[in-house]
Each structure stands twice: as C-alpha cells, then as structure tokens.
Amino acid sequence: MQLSTRSRSRRTLLAAAAALTVAVTPFTAGPAAAEPLDRQQQYAAAAAEFGVPESVLLAVSYLESRWDTHAGQPSTSGGYGPMHLTDATHVLASTAGGHIDEGEDPRGDETRPLAVAAPSGDGTVPAAPADTALQTLQAAAALTGASEEVLRSDPAANIRGGAALLAAYQQELGGPVGAASDPAAWYGAVARYSGAGAEDTAAAFADEVYGQLRAGASRTTDDGHRVVLPAREVSPDESALHRLGLRRAERPDGLECPIGIGCEWIPAPYQKYGPRPGDYGNYDLGNRPAQQKLEYIVIHDTEGYFWPSVNLVKDPKRVGWHYTLRSVDGHVAQHIKTKDVGWHAGNWYVNAKSIGLEHEGFAGHGTWYTEAMYRTSAKLVRHLALRFNIPLDRQHIIGHDNVPGTVAANVAGMHWDPGPYWDWSHYFHLLKAPFRSTGTPQTGLVTIDPDFAGNQPAFTGCSRQPPGVPSPPPPVTDPCPLRGSSAVLLRSAPSHDAPLALDLGEHPDGSPGTMYVPDHSARASAGQTYAVAEVRGDWTAIWYLGQKAWFHNPESARTGKWATGFVVTPKPGKATIPVYGRAYPERDAYPTGVPYQAISPLQYTLSAGQRYAVGGVLPSEYYRAVTFDGSAPGDWTVISGDLRYVQVQFGHRIGYVNLDDVQVLPSTVGAPE
C-alpha cells in the first residue's frame, strides 16, 4: 500500500525541524525553579514557550494519551509520554510477535482443520512503515534541544516536544502562532500531528480534538496529577487541511464504516489455491444477518504492526478478519464484508456469528493502546452494533480471550488478546454504554470494574512471552512494568495470600493459576458479570469454572459493581451438567450428506447449587461452508436444531449450557444474603 504523499525521509524531516529552531525558540536552561511545576503548569509553560494555545495543546495530548505517562513505556506505535512522541525504531527490536502461529487453526472447526503455514522469511518481525509519523521524537529533540531519552522519560520535556512540533506544523502551514492565537486556526496543525497519511483519517483525529475541546475534560493522570481542560465553543477553520498534501482515500460503495472515521477497503482474497475442494481462503461466503443473526463483535490485537498484519490477511493460505485498526492515528482498513464469515476467533460457532476487529498492538509486551485507536474502534463498533442489533455489553462485545475452545483439547491453545491491559471500562464509556451499578449486595450479580489506573497486578513475563504459543512454557518470573489493568485476580480463599483459582483447561494437573501474563485462568475482566457465591467482609466470591473464586472488593474501593439480571442453575435432580464451547444442533437436525458435528462437552461441569450469569438464550446452529464453490451437500446453509442453549459467563471465557438442563432464574432468587 502506497504511503502518504507527504511522507518524507527521516533525514529530510530532521533537517526541516532543525531549520525551524530559528523560528521556534529552543530550550535554554535557566535558574532552577523553587518548586517543580505540576502537570497543568507544565502544559501552560510549554504552550507559552512555543506559542501554542494551551487549550489546543491539552486537547491534542488528551487525544493521544489522555494525559497519561504510561511510566515511560511506549505505545504500539512507539509513542512516548503525554504527547505520544513516536520513535518506532527504538521499540522495534524489543517487540516480537505475529498473531497466528504455524499449525494453528483460526477457523476453529476440527472436522476440517486449517493448519496455517509457517510465515515466510526468517521469522523476524517486519519493520513498521518508514513514515515520519513514526519518528516525531527525533524532530522534537531537534526543536527543543532535549535528548531523545529525556523526551521518552520526562513528562515535562515530552509536553514541550509536542508543543514545539505543533508550532512547527503551524508555521509550515503559514498559520498564526502565539499562545493567545485563536484555537480555531490550528486545525491543520492538529490534523498533521495525528501522523495520518490519509486526509479523512487526519480530519477524523482533528475533529475528535476539537470535539474534546468543546466538551472539556478533567481527570487525574496515571502518575497522580490533576489536569483540567475547560470547555469552550470553537468552530475550527478546516481550510488548511487540504494544504497538507495527504492522500485522498477512496470510500467505495459498500464500505462498512461510519462517516467520521478514516477507512479504506483492502480486501482479503476469497481465492482457491490448491486442487482439493477445501483449498481456498481466507474466509467463507455468507449472508448475514439474513441467514443467521450476528451475536458478537470480537476485539483482537494483531501482535504485530499494522502493515505486516494487513499483508497477513491478504494471504489466502492464512487467516481473515473484517477490520484492522492502526495505532498511531486510528485509521481503519476493512478486509471482509460483514455478511461473510472470517477465520479469526478459533471457534467456528463464534466465527459464524461474529465480526472480528484486529487492533494494532501487543497484549503483553509493555506497550499501550492509543486513545486515537480506542476512539475509532468505539465509533466503528457502536455503528456495527446498532446496525446489527448487537447488545453493547460484555456478553456480546467480547475479547478474543473470552472466546471458548470448541472442545476440551482446544481450551489451552485459545488466544488471550487483547490482554489484561486493554481498558474495557474506558472503551465502554466511549461506546456510550458505561458499566453501571444496578443492584445491591443482595441482588445476586456483580460486574467487575476496577479503577484501571490504580489496579496494577504484578504480572510477569511481558518481555519474554512468545505470542500465541498454544502450550505456554513454564511461567517466567521477570516482572512486567506495573501499569493499569482491567484484570482482577481471583483467589481460592478470601485472602491475598491464598493460591489463585483453578482452571483445569489451562492447568490439567490441578495446579493454581499463575501471574504469567498470558495465563488468565484466575482473572475476571472489567465489564464481565458473574453470579455472587458469597460475601465475606471486604471479599466477594463468584461462581467461576465450578468453584468459588474470591476477589478483593472493599466498600471503600470497589472492584465490582452490584448488578441484577438472570442466572442459571442445574434443574432439580441434576447433580452436574455439561458446559460446551459451541452451541451446535442435535444429530437429527443434519440433512442427508452433511456430517454430524458432535456436541462435545468441555472439561468443566456445572454442579447443583452453583449459579452463572446469563448472557442470552441462543438457537442451536451450524453454518455449513466447506468448499470454495458451495458444491458440497448442504453448503452455504445454516443448519438449525430444536436444542436451545444459554450463554453463561463461566470463567474468563464464555460458555454454553443446554437450556433443557437448567433453570433460568432472576438473580435475586436464592441470592446470597
């Protein structure tokens, strides 16, 4: 894919930045301040020094990082600090990955396994695009005189660097510079700051910045500084946008993106590559939702950079998902029509009823997801959810880490992205569906919702974890950087010293869960709702994988919100009932010539007296699609049975139980007192 027409070499950009130091006063050391500036003052000082309206500087920073420092750790785009100054080459060597491993089956149908081929090349990760958008830290260093290391690690220097870049961009466009200048005149510089190569994506970023400026904001940063952006009405002058020389991305008819985000069509191939009927890729034709209802939107991360991941989905011998989102600017590429079935979740039942979104990122390498990508993703997901009547809740907007294995043998090999560092609570605020308390301690359900910034579990193995390995090696002990997380630890007893909860799918030997970052066997995540088993002081127990699992939930700092809804429990007379990873029809539902897809239970059971939160009642369905041209018996049809299933929040992943096996009750009935 051709890069932006405005993209220049790193050398050219640095030369331009050096020249601009004549017009933008570089930093010179002065007398030591008696008191260090707080974060609000740092923004004000940088705005005054470089002649940027303080409101513009604050709003741009909010759209990059929400003013957070992330403890000096880079984003997926190699962006550092509150202003997201990018240095992709600095992080490239320490970031490995690739979302799908050799031999893995992203299609998730063991009756027609798809063994993904080994990636081409020497196994190294392809470099990120050589775009100036990914190397702004060097330009900021030239403009300010600060070292690159200081710009990465010192928030005040980072803010100065961002202010200097904005001022330089404004001067290049011939716009007014000055702290008292009209914020409306800075639209072009703000769009340039996004790093976008396409005009619609740059405009979408600038529109978000000015929308935030009009709305205002106030929050405490991840390092404890209170920052306020007062709301003010601004009508930006957008005329400078066209002078940036950005690529005009085409929006062909049928592109399924909402207006207001940057989006393009980069198709995945529906292509035959071998002599056998099943030698085709990398998705299946469908007719959704007319043929079957879409139930899920699955949130993934790519475990790689944007362009290598897009190139992966263009290979018919590998995998297919519907959308890829870029970190630096939130740009979207659509690959598969939503009517068609992608191969992305590793569970054919979920694939057949879902849309898959891949986000440029790494689940456990110390990088963070950008605000620009969160916002674009939320706009896209909300658009799709409203279009297809998919509820905006964590039973239907799920992570890849919430998708169950199809059969017992597949449980341990399922993916765990987007991982414990995806901010689900913030994401659902952006979806306009925040997690709310709808109950009391006696209403029987609890929705996990820790304070993201303050919740910092001591995970291990971020630096050495090989992504997507089906059978993880023994947990490594090198600590991950302490950072905000959506994950809440679950223990076998109400004590911080108690072992973590058990997951026989992840640990068949019966050993407890671990702090190894891919091991989510003893974690609940923000937005997931569970049935309350017991409350004891500051501890709450939930029913989780057939056991009571405890999490710390003190009244002074709740990590869970009381909720109401429905639960299932085994019908009277049933000591245990099976739990499934898919909701397939009974044998009699299959027409002649179509092989029966076994209803195979997982290694877990749901015992009498236990209760699990209901995510919905679903029909039994199997989408038959096994040939390129639909020539097999029953191909391209949905086989439906008389069985019905209840989706439950069984562990970290969802599960399914036969409706005939359970009672569905209001959560208040029989709730712990």
pLDDT digits (tens, 9 = 90+) for 469-512: 444 554 577 888 888 999 999 999 999 999 999 999 999 999 99
Residue 215 class from Cβ within 10 Å (0-12 exposed, 13-18 middle, 19+ buried)?
Answer: exposed
What residues contact residue 488 under an 8 Å CB cut-off, 6+ apart? Answer: 448, 450, 455, 523, 524, 525, 526, 551, 559, 560
Q: What b-and-e string marks burial along 133-171, b requiring 16 or more CB atoms within 10 Å of the CB?
A: bbbbbbbbbbbbebebebbbebbbbbbbbbbbbbbbbbb
User: In whole angstroms, what is the distance from residue 128 CA to residue 119 CA?
Assistant: 17
Tell me the pLDDT band of 103, cut-offs 50, 70 and 90.
low
User: For 418, phi and psi rounded to 5 degrees?
Assistant: -80, 5
Using CA atoms, how far apart are residues 5 and 343, in angstroms rounded to an integer? 34
Which H helix or E strand runs over 614? Answer: strand 612-624
Residue 440 φ/ψ, nearest 5 degrees: -135, 175
Nearest to 82, CA basis, from 156, 193, 169, 188: 156
Nearest one of 579, 587, 108 to 349, comparing CA atoms: 108
Distance CA 133, CA 188 (A): 15
Whether 484 contacts 474, CB under 8 Å: no
Separation between Cα atoms, residue 226 and residue 212, nearest integer Å: 17
Between the alpha carbon of residue 414 and those of residues 506, 519, 581, the distances in Å are 10, 11, 11
Indicate the SS3 state at residue 185: helix
d(CA 607, CA 547): 9
Contacts of 511 (CB under 8 A, 6+ apart): 502
Q: What is the pLDDT of residue 319?
A: 87
Question: Quick check: 567 pLDDT over 60?
Answer: yes
Beta bridge partners of 623: 638
How far is residue 223 CA from its own chain's centroid?
A: 23
What's the CATH number for 10-87+135-244? 1.10.530
Q: List the beta bridge partners of residue 516.
A: 460
Cβ count within 10 A of residue 410: 20
Domain edges within the chain: 10-87+135-244
3-state secondary structure of 158: helix
Q: Which residues make beta-bridge pairs with 648?
A: 614, 655
pLDDT for 125 equals 39
Q: Which one-letter DSSP state was computed for residue 430?
A: H
* 573 band by pLDDT with thresholds 50, 70 and 90: very high
How wide is the angle at C-alpha 565 spanned by C-alphas 584 and 394, nearest 5°?
60
In this prediction, residue 15 carries a pLDDT of 43
**Amino acid 98: pLDDT:** 55
Which segment, 2-16, 71-85, 640-654, is predicted with the most confidence on average?
Answer: 640-654
Going 327 to 432 to 422 to 318, the CA torsion angle's sign is negative
Q: Is the dihedral of CA 269, 271, 273, 277 positive or negative?
A: positive
pLDDT at 469: 43
**Distance separating the N- and C-terminal Cα atoms of the chain:** 60
Instruction: Round the CA-based radius of gyration of the chain to a whole number and report it.
Output: 26
The secondary structure of residue 45, as a DSSP letter, is: H
The residue count of the chain comes to: 673
CA distances from 386 to 163, 258, 321, 379 (A): 39, 11, 20, 11
Q: What is the mean pLDDT of residues 590-618?
A: 96
**Least confident interval from 166-175, 254-263, 305-314:** 305-314
Q: What is the pLDDT of residues 245-281, one digit of tens each?
A: 998 877 888 999 999 999 999 999 999 999 988 899 9
Q: How far apart are CA 220 and CA 657, in angstroms?
A: 43
Query: Residue 544: in which H helix or E strand, if any?
Result: strand 539-544
- Does this model's pTM top 0.75? My answer is yes
Torsion of CA 384, 432, 323, 632, to 10 degrees: -40
Q: What is the pLDDT of residue 133?
A: 75
> How many C-beta atoms surround the C-beta of residue 269 within 10 A?
17
